[in-house]
């Protein structure tokens, strides 16, 4: 069980004249066991928040806390077990010359697990893949199956927080439904905390209880899903996003 706290988080790239402030003064809290969504257009800084949390971006200031512990420059060893990430494109995030078995056993060995063999079988079963998938390579899997492998890899170290960076935007809608169902089940069974980035508001509304809307690096609004469903956001930009996501409306 882990609570995530972000307080006045700033992330920037470059310095002096070519400095870009990707995230400005972002503050929000994800309670333990909750599912929190970040939405916004490309370049709004939503993925950067995830990357800053896991330590992929060194240039940040402000406070980030996982389970009450403030993160410094260097993250404790336990952090890398506790927080795991699932990336957008399963075609790019799996090593093309590593079989499913290699991907999972490498992660398990790195984290010091002894019963690797049993765990791989269980992980595959957890994400709805049969044992026949164990020795396949990524090119022998469909997009949905690959994303299941990526989820299995993230679950291998027994994390309590999953960071989901557009986990279904590379998938067809029918496969998206299967993966979203899987993620919802896993959260319930393994008591995970989700922080999910997506540009698809319907997906976020389905998966999350609370949503932060980002524009140009700033959080313009944090709202509950009910407000989103009733189409009554406070900020104009959110309204604009919601309307655009409902399909095409000819201009009058």
Partner 1 sequence: MSKLLDIENLTVTFPTRSGEFDAVRGVSFTLGQERLGIVGESGSGKSMTGRAILRLIRPPGRISADRLELNGRDILAMSEKEMQSVRGQKISMVMQDPKFSLNPVMRIGEQIIEIYRFHTKASKKAAYDKAIEMLEAVSIRDPERVMRAYPHEMSGGMGQRIMIAMMLVTEPEILIADEPTSALDVSVQTSVLTIIDKLVKERGMGLIFISHDLNLVASFCDRVLIMYAGRIVETCKADKLHEATHPYTRGLLNSLPRIDTPQDRLQALVRDPTWAQAASVSGRQ
Compose the 40-59 pattern: x for residues touching partner 1 by CB under 8 A, - for all others: -xx-----------------
Looking at residues 134 to 163 of the shown chain, list those that interact with partner 1 (rule: CB under 8 A).
Answer: 143
If one asks whether residue 18 binds partner 1 (CB under 8 A), the answer comes out as no
Looking at residues 186 to 225 of the shown chain, list those that interact with partner 1 (rule: CB under 8 A).
Answer: 199, 201-203, 205-207, 225
Q: How many Å apart are CA 104 and CA 115, to the nearest integer?
A: 12
Distance set, CA 209 to CA 37, 39, 124, 152, 222 (Å): 8, 13, 28, 24, 11
CB of 128 to partner 1, least distance (A): 10
If one asks whether residue 96 binds partner 1 (CB under 8 A), the answer comes out as no
Binding region for partner 1 (CB under 8 A) out of 23-31, 74-82, 151-159, 179-187? 179-187
Strands of the chain (E only): list them: 4-13, 20-30, 35-40, 60-66, 69-70, 83-86, 161-165, 193-198, 210-215, 218-224
Q: How many Å apart are CA 158 and CA 141, to the nearest integer?
A: 24
Q: Which residues bind partner 1 (CB under 8 A)?
A: 41-42, 143, 172-174, 176-178, 180-181, 184, 199, 201-203, 205-207, 225, 228-229, 231, 240-242, 244-251
């Amino acid at each position: 069980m882990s609570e995530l706290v972000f307080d006045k988080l700033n992330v920037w790239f470059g310095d002096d004249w070519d400095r870009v402030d990707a995230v400005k003064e972002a503050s929000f809290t994800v309670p333990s066991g909750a599912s929190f969504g970040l939405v916004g257009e490309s370049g709004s800084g939503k993925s950067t928040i995830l990357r800053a949390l896991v330590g992929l971006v060194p240039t940040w200031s402000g406070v980030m806390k996982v389970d009450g512990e403030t993160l410094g420059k260097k993250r404790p060893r336990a952090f890398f077990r506790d927080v795991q990430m699932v990336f957008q494109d399963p075609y790019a995030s799996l090593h093309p010359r590593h079989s499913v078995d290699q991907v999972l056993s490498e992660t398990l060995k790195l984290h010091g697990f002894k019963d690797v063999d049993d765990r791989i079988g269980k992980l595959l079963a957890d994400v709805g893949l049969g044992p026949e998938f164990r020795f396949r390579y990524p090119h022998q899997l469909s997009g949905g199956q690959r994303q299941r492998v990526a989820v299995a890899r993230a679950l291998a170290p027994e994390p309590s927080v999953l960071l989901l960076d557009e986990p279904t935007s590379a998938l067809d809608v029918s496969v998206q439904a299967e993966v979203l169902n899987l993620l919802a089940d896993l959260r319930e069974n393994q008591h995970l905390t989700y922080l999910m980035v997506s540009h698809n508001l319907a997906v976020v509304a389905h998966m999350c209880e609370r949503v932060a809307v980002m524009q140009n690096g700033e959080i313009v609004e944090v709202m509950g899903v009910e407000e989103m469903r009733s189409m009554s956001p406070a900020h104009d930009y959110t309204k604009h996003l919601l309307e655009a996501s409902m399909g095409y409306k000819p201009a009058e």
